[in-house]
Amino acid sequence: MREAGGIGPSAPQWEAFTRISERAHALVERQYTLYNEEIIPAFARARVVIAGHRERSEPQRAWVRDYFVREVAPLLSPIGLDPAHPFPQVMNKALNFIVQLEGKDAFGRPTGVAIVKVPRALPRVIALPQRLAPGRQTFVLLSSVIRAHLGDLFPRRTVTGFSQFRVTRDSDLWVDEREVSNLRQAVKFELAQRHFGNAVRLEILRSCPPQLEALLCSQFALPPETVYRVNGPVNLVRLNQLVDHLTQPRHRFPPLVPAWPKGVGEDSDMFAAIRRGDILLHHPFESFEPVVELLRQAITDPQVVAIRMTLYRTGTGSVLVDLLAEAARRGKEVTVVVELQARFDEEANVNLAERLETVGAQVVYGVVGMKTHAKMLLILRREERRGRVRVVPYVHLGTGNYHPATTKLYTDFGLMTAEPAICEDVEKIFLHLTSLTRVQRLRHLWMAPFTLQRHIIAAIEAEARHVRGGKPGRVVAKVNALTDEATIEALYAASQVGVSIDLIVRGACALRPGVKGLSENIRVRSIVGRFLEHHRIYYFRAGGADKVYLASADWMGRNLLRRIEIAWPLLDPVLKERVIDEGLRPYLYDTADAWILGSDGAYAPPRNPDRGFRAQQTLIEGRSSSGEE
């Protein structure tokens, strides 16, 4: 935004900001139109009601009033603004009310504005008793409860205007890794400031009085372009809580009980199972528990001497962190690479790092200036083979995080292997992360920021050479985002010589498919279904060899050039075919959850949605019919 004295963004920057702001406002407007005109009526048809004050019956109003008095009012501390009561600190994305008052306060002064901060401990969605709404489920929103009783908070005053409001603050952590001597301490200091960073957005009700809007804009130093006037609750995300209250089975997905992989049971010796052959885990259709069990057995196995692991996101109260701590207490050599700057998990990761260090684990924070995003577990075990004792490595690699909760919600692959060449590469990468020595030549793994982008582009260019030589060329990739310019240019060049390219991209995609003379042989689709699509899979036909890689990395510049990432090949032909059959092929034929990206940059449903083929549902049914539960 422009500042006094001509200091501020350049004209192109201001133009870009203006265009982004216009698009963002239109998107938010569309969200609330869908909420009011489609979602709320659809709820009503399903006999699910979100009742505002006007829609509530007298018995319902009485119940809500009692709830307000018992559960809500004791936690509210209205702040009347005057010189002794300045505008309070407002936390990032917290719900608040600003209230215009008429009349005089207890001291005879005409203080006119008050702020009501809403504690995050209060539920945002409240279910009414069934007896008050027979035949349907009725809910009230916390914001509606407070709004209906604002007057009770200001006895002998009259509320003449009000608005909910929410401030979004800059949540980036500014840590100059070149200047700090202790990254963990620097991150802890920045975390303390995060909730009160500079304001960047203000959300208010569309009915907010102009004078209250002006006061908020002045208080948070925000220009009009950053104000979003909404027709509904200021935080629609909190309506996720509604899902937990719905009791009608027809409104919920059938429960999914993840299976254990074929040939591996809950009482299996995990090390013996891995020695028999590589184990592929496909979450959430298959359980993450084998990985937990592998680590659990490593703790109690006297032959296990060392455990090394990367942690990016684990969640609070992670069983994996508990197991690593127990391993350290039992005298195992435990080395953990913790990414302190995993966005919005920084505090949890600082806490787990301190906890692990307390029990004797060696904790490092990766490489300065680069997030460690690779997902690797290495277990070293003494074994006697052919009359000689040696240390044998066992490895787990994943496309997703070591987060037991998200493995039930995200689609990901994990590989458990004792393949010597793969394990040797993983050992080399851990050595690099802990000692900062140059990475030795890797036989199978591709590693960012050193070789991953180069190998991807080389593989794409190899497909183009096959086409020029009269053979078919084929690339299929499944990633969360595609924005890396060099990779996009390689895909365009391959398309122009006839390579057939299919891209399954859940999120941002900077490539335009189907453009005449540029990308006519490229197709892009996104899948939005029950589970969040999180696989990273790279497929290259390779002259009929069918090379398949699983990876932690999306095709983005930050992943390929500014992070520690890995991609690894499927060496077992059976598992390679499984990844194709489960991770790629169904998604290319999905007609129910798919969105097709056009050459104009817009997404649209497939032209034959009536077929109703859902990749995720097919995988659920295939797992159930296999009898592996």
Tell me the β-bridge partners of 567. 446, 551
Residue with the two structure tokens 């895909």 = 491
Residue in the structure block whose two tokens are 């969200």: 31
- How would you class 185 by CB atoms within 10 Å of its CB: exposed for 0-12, middle for 13-18, buried for 19 or more? exposed
DSSP annotation of 43:
H
Question: Coil, strand, or helix at residue 55?
Answer: coil
Q: Is 77 exposed, middle or buried (0-12, 13-18, 19+ CB in 10 A)?
A: exposed
Distance CA 491, CA 484 (A): 11
* Sheet bearing 48-50, strands edge to edge: 48-50, 137-141, 125-127
Q: Which of 149, 282, 283, 373 is catalytic?
A: 373
Q: Where are the alpha helices (DSSP H) in 86-156?
A: 142-148
The CA-CA-CA angle for residues 281, 284, 287, to 5°, reads: 55
Number of neighbours of residue 32 by Cβ within 10 angstroms:
18
Q: Cβ distance 205 to 229 under 8 Å? A: yes
Residues contacting residue 201 through CB under 8 Å, at least 6 positions apart: 167, 168, 222, 226, 228
CB neighbours (10 Å) of residue 278?
Answer: 17
User: Is the bond leading into 284 cis (omega within 30 degrees of zero)?
Assistant: yes
Strands (E), 46-205: 48-50, 79-80, 96-102, 113-117, 125-127, 137-141, 158-169, 199-205
Residue 31, number of CB atoms within 10 A of its CB: 15
How much of the chain is helix, strand and coil, in % rounded to 5? 40, 25, 40
Compute the C-alpha angle 596/597/603, nearest 5°: 80
Cβ contact 568:549 at 8 Å: yes
As a whole number of angstroms, the distance between CA 381 and CA 272 comes to 12
**How many Å apart are CA 605 and CA 420, to the nearest integer?**
45
**Residues ≥6 apart with Cβ < 8 Å to 545:** none
Sign of the C-alpha dihedral, residues 293, 537, 576, 568? negative
What is the C-alpha separation between 209 and 462, in angstroms, rounded?
63
Q: What is the Cα–Cα distance from 118 to 88, expressed in whole angstroms?
A: 12
Q: What is the DSSP letter of 395?
A: E
> Residue 229 corresponds to which amino acid?
R
Q: How many Å from the N-terminal Cα to the C-terminal Cα in the chain?
A: 57
Are the C-beta atoms of 497 and 521 separated by less than 8 Å? Answer: no
Residues 524 and 606 sit within 8 Å (Cβ to Cβ): no
- Active site includes 373? yes
How far is C-alpha 62 from the geometric centre of its chain's CA atoms?
40
**Tokens standing for 260?**
């254990």
> Contact, 196 vs 169, CB < 8 A?
yes
In whole angstroms, give the CA distance from residue 182 to residue 403.
26
Kindly list the catalytic residues: 373
